[in-house]
Structures are given as C-alpha cells and as structure tokens.
Chain A
Amino acid sequence: MTTPSQTVGPFFALGLPFAGGPLAVADGTPGAFWLRGVVLDGAGDPVPDALIETWQADPDGRFDHPDDPRGAVATPGFRGFARCPTDPQGRYAIRTVRPGPVPGPDGVLQAPHIDVSVLARGLLDRVVTRIYFPDAAANAGDPVLATVDPIRRQTLIAKETDDGYAFDITLQGDHETVFFTF
C-alpha cells in the first residue's frame, strides 16, 4: 500500500539542486577526488536532464545513522550524500572519498561501493546502480558483483582518471549499466 513513484520530470532543477549538493565531503577533505561521468540513453545520446544522487559509507565503512548496528559515527566534513544534475552534455561530477568495506545482510563484508540513484524525465521510478573501484582486491570476493554476469560486471566498475574516477551510466542498450532492485 505504498505511494507509487512518478517521474522527476524535466523541470526538477527548480526545486532539487542546491549549493554544495555535489560535494559528499567538505572542501579540503584528505583523499577527496572527483567522480565524473556521462549519462547516456538507448540511442547513445547524452541525457541532459538527469539527476544523480549518491550515498556511501565513510572511509571506515561506517554510517552516521541510527540503524548502523555498530553505532552511528559522525565523521567531520563527511556527508556521504551528493546530488548533481547533468549538464547539457549529460555530464555529472561528485566530490567524495573512497568508502570503506561495508557489511552485507549476512554480515559478510562487501567491497567498497557507492550506491547511485538516477532520476530523469522518462524514468517513472529511479534506477539504482552501484559504483565499485577498479583497484579493489575485495571486488573478487564481493557477493553482489558475484551475482552479475561477468560480461556486464564491468559496467559497475569505475575507471581511474587524472583527478579521481569516471563512471558512465548507460540507461539502455548494448552497454546498458547493471541496475538493481531491492
């Protein structure tokens, strides 16, 4: 009996973006990098009216949240959430730090990951994906990555760049990003 989802529409820029939204960490945070990407549609064209939101653990794999059973931990300068609308070329950029490994439902550690929501005109519900890091040894044992067809698994793994990482999102088609439901 939940309230249904509806599209964010083309005009969310009126209400949702905010100053500092793309910054999951405060300026000057050690180890901070840019996570940049392009959102593409099924024709390979950029999506200029998407909204990207990210959520992640802090570098120790902890959350400042009452439901973290290990206890909420507030890390100064760390919000863990970022929101960035795409530009006319479909690009987004988020400033963050690398999360630590996080326990899964069974307590087994998952490789460092960032959860991503993609919202846009033409998406009646958000789509959710995960960003993993290319150089993380823990990826090999990650229980979520293990469920993904190896051919499509690489869509979940960011690429290293000069100032951080790149993670492109393809909504549809041959190179479609893996999206999750829960």
Chain B
Amino acid sequence: MPDWKPPAPYRSHAEADQPPLAAPGYGSTRLRSPHHPLLVLPQGLTELTGPALGERDFGALDNDLTRQHDGEPQGERIEVFGRVLDGDGRPVRDTLVEIWQTNAAGRYNHVGDQHPAPLDPNFTGAGRTMTDSDGRYRFMTIKPGAYPWRNHPNAWRPAHIHFSLFGRAFTQRLVTQMYFPNDPLFGQDPIFNSVRDDAARQRMVAAFDLDATTPEWSLAYRWDIVLRGRDATPMEDS
C-alpha cells in the first residue's frame, strides 16, 4: 500500500438531478445516446484531478460581451452573476466559467444557425471568466432570444445561456444551460424537461435580482451553480 492517503471521491448525482441520456422527446438523442448501461468507474487520481485552465490557455479572458466590438449590441443589457459551489456549499474558487449564447434576436453567430433572424455585427455571444476566491463570477451581456428548431412541429427553445464549468476535478465537469424565470416556452421544451424533477429543473432557472440591477444601465439575474460534492475536505488529514 502507498504511504499516502487517496483523496476522497466525489459523490454521485442524485438520479433526479440529471437528465437521462435517452430522452424520447428530444429527437437528437435517438441515435446518439448509448444503449449499454454505463459502467461504474472507481475514482482514481485521473478522475480526482483536473485541468486548471485560465489566461495561460486562452490569453486575456473577457466577461463583458457588450464591449467586444466597436459598437453596442442590440438588446436588453443584463448582468448575470452568482457563485459556483460544490454540493456541500463550499465555493469552487479560481475555476474557469465559459458561456455562449444567441443575440437578442435569437440567432447564434455560427454558420450552422439558419434561423432567419438578424445577426448583430456588435455581438459575438461568447465569454470566459474565472471565479474569485469566494466562487463568484459575473458576466455583462444582453438577454438572449428564443429561437425555433426542428425537433417537433413549431418547436422553440426558451431563451438560455450555455455554461461550461470544470470545477476542481474531472469528475466535477459540468456543461449546462441557464434559463430565465417564467419563460412561457418551458412547457414545450424537451431539453429543459429532460430533467424530470421540478426542483432540479428550477435549479437551471436564474432569479431576477432587482437589488443587483445598475440604475439607468442594466438588469440583473443571479444564478448559483452547484457541482458535485465530496465526502470529506480534500487533504484534511495532511
């Protein structure tokens, strides 16, 4: 046996907290979701560690999506902010947060997006930032739009911002979407509803925060992101 103690593993997700890989209402899962059951991989050091990405990898990070071009983007200026926490409420500090989204009209700045809504020459729709020592992040952006897709007749995605997070370990990696409160499109969206538990679904919905608005400038939405927790504080015995 080694003379060191392995780090504590991360706890599994509660089943209700995660969407199934096969979701019949979401057509693209049909040929892409594995049929075999997933095998349990005991968490070794490859799973308990992970990359610490940052400016060394990307150059200067940019958390203000409204100032990436010569002019101002169209749309409703919003601040999106919150904390990245683990399942025990501990902040996940100094971790990369990446976002991408449509413009105010509901169009991605991507050649594959054929939705006949206008592109905005002053909006790319992507940003990166690091959490601070308290797990906090913030982006300044514009509110994304809803857009149609061909999943089912007259299908529309609720407005959302894509989020990518690494956390501290490979095991904690999370890619998800942040939604806006009271979106009338929730009921017909199979991606949002792939998460079957209502309380879990609500954890993907940001809260409007009047106190965090900037008068005469921007509205604000608060969204905390919870990654998997682990059984003990790392290295607590050392």
Q: A residues touching B (Cβ–Cβ < 8 Å)?
A: 1-16, 18, 20-21, 41-43, 45, 47, 49, 53, 55-57, 63-70, 79-81, 102-107, 110, 113, 115, 117, 119-128, 130, 143-144, 147-148, 152, 171-173, 176-182
Within 8 A of A (CB), among B53-108: 53, 57-58, 87, 98-100, 108
Between A and B, 10 residue pairs with Cβ closer than 8 Å are A3-B17, A5-B19, A6-B162, A8-B162, A63-B49, A119-B175, A130-B41, A172-B34, A178-B39, A182-B41
Say whether B44 contacts A105, CB under 8 Å: yes
7 nearest A-B pairs in the assembled complex, by CB-CB distance: A15-B100, A122-B28, A81-B51, A122-B32, A180-B41, A15-B126, A65-B49
Whole-angstrom distance between the Cβ of A42 and the nearest chain B Cβ: 4
Whole-angstrom distance between the Cβ of A81 and the nearest chain B Cβ: 4
Within 8 Å by CB of A171, from B34, B48, B204, lies B34
CB-defined contacts of A126 to chain B, threshold 8 Å: 173, 175
CB-defined contacts of B48 to chain A, threshold 8 Å: 67
Task: Assess A6 versus B177: contact at CB under 8 Å? Given A14-B126, A123-B29.
Answer: yes
CB-defined contacts of B200 to chain A, threshold 8 Å: 4
CB-defined contacts of A65 to chain B, threshold 8 Å: 49-50, 52
Say whether A57 contacts B228, CB under 8 Å: no
Whole-angstrom distance between the Cβ of A136 and the nearest chain B Cβ: 15
- Judged by DSSP, the binding face of A is loop
CB-defined contacts of A41 to chain B, threshold 8 Å: 31-32
Q: B residues touching A (Cβ–Cβ < 8 Å)?
A: 1-2, 4-7, 9-10, 12-14, 17-21, 23, 26-36, 38-53, 57-58, 87, 98-100, 108-110, 112-113, 124-127, 162, 164, 168-171, 173-177, 191-192, 194-195, 200-201, 203-204, 225-229, 234-235, 238
Say whether A4 contacts B7, CB under 8 Å: no
Task: Assess A117 versus B173: contact at CB under 8 Å? Given A2-B87, A2-B227, A4-B17.
Answer: yes
A-B contact count (CB 8 A): 248
Within 8 Å by CB of B191, from A7, A18, A56, lies A7
Whole-angstrom distance between the Cβ of B21 and the nearest chain A Cβ: 6
Given contacts A3-B226, A6-B204, A172-B31, list 20 more A-B pairs with CB under 8 A: A2-B18, A2-B174, A3-B204, A5-B19, A6-B176, A10-B110, A10-B112, A13-B110, A42-B31, A55-B49, A65-B50, A66-B235, A68-B49, A107-B6, A122-B32, A123-B21, A127-B38, A171-B31, A172-B35, A182-B42
CB-defined contacts of A171 to chain B, threshold 8 Å: 31-34
Most chain B C-beta atoms within 10 Å of own C-beta, residue among A1, A2, A105, A172:
A2
